[in-house]
């Protein structure tokens, strides 16, 4: 599997849930990349985790889509002690703005060049 294919999460048939996190970074770095990677790795080990897609552009605007089997699994991850601590740090220094949306995926379809 090449990196292009890996950029798109291999999710199961719907229904499942997506947490869409759109954020604007501050200019503060101070451990952000290491923490972001730590949180991705930790999320991937949680029950109900189905996959993640994450992109940030040169202007510091990012979108992360994480996929989960249920709202209960999303709630458990939100309340995970290491995750809440990272979110506190994020609000204190790394994020100027963010917006989170929790949505139920009802339909999906894809394309891969032949």
Query: Stretches 33-41, 42-50, 104-112: which one binds a copy of itself (CB under 8 A)?
Result: 104-112
List 65's β-bridge partners, or say none: 20, 53
- Residue 54, judged by CB atoms within 10 A of its CB (0-12, 13-18, 19+), counts as middle
Rounded distance between C-alpha atoms, residue 113 and residue 75, angstroms:
37
- Based on the shown chain and the rule CB under 8 A, indicate whether residue 44 belongs to the binding site for a copy of itself: no
Q: Which residues contact 83 (CB under 8 A, 6 or more apart)?
A: 39, 42, 43, 77
Of these, 45, 59, 79, 81, which contacts a copy of itself (CB under 8 A)? 59
The size of the interface with a copy of itself (CB under 8 A), counted in residues, is 46
Q: Please say which residue, 29 or 104, places its beta carbon nearer to a copy of itself.
A: 104
Least separation in angstroms between residue 74's CB and a copy of itself is: 9
- Based on the shown chain and the rule CB under 8 A, indicate whether residue 27 belongs to the binding site for a copy of itself: no
- Based on the shown chain and the rule CB under 8 A, indicate whether residue 61 belongs to the binding site for a copy of itself: yes
Q: Tokens in use for 66?
A: 């994480």
φ, ψ at 38 (rounded to 5°) = -60, -45
Binding site for a copy of itself (CB under 8 A): 3-5, 7-9, 11, 14, 17-18, 20, 22, 24, 26, 53, 55-63, 65, 71, 91, 95-113
């Amino acid at each position: 599997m090449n990196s292009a294919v890996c950029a798109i999460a291999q999710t199961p048939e719907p229904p499942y849930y997506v947490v869409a996190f759109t954020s604007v970074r501050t200019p503060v770095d101070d451990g952000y990349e290491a923490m972001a990677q730590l949180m991705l790795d930790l999320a991937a080990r949680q029950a109900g985790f189905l996959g993640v897609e994450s992109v940030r552009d040169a202007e510091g605007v990012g979108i992360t889509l994480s996929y989960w089997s249920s709202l209960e699994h999303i709630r458990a991850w939100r309340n995970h002690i290491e995750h809440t601590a990272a979110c506190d740090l994020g609000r204190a220094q790394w994020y100027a703005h963010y917006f989170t949306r929790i949505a139920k995926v009802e339909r999906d379809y894809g394309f891969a060049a032949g």
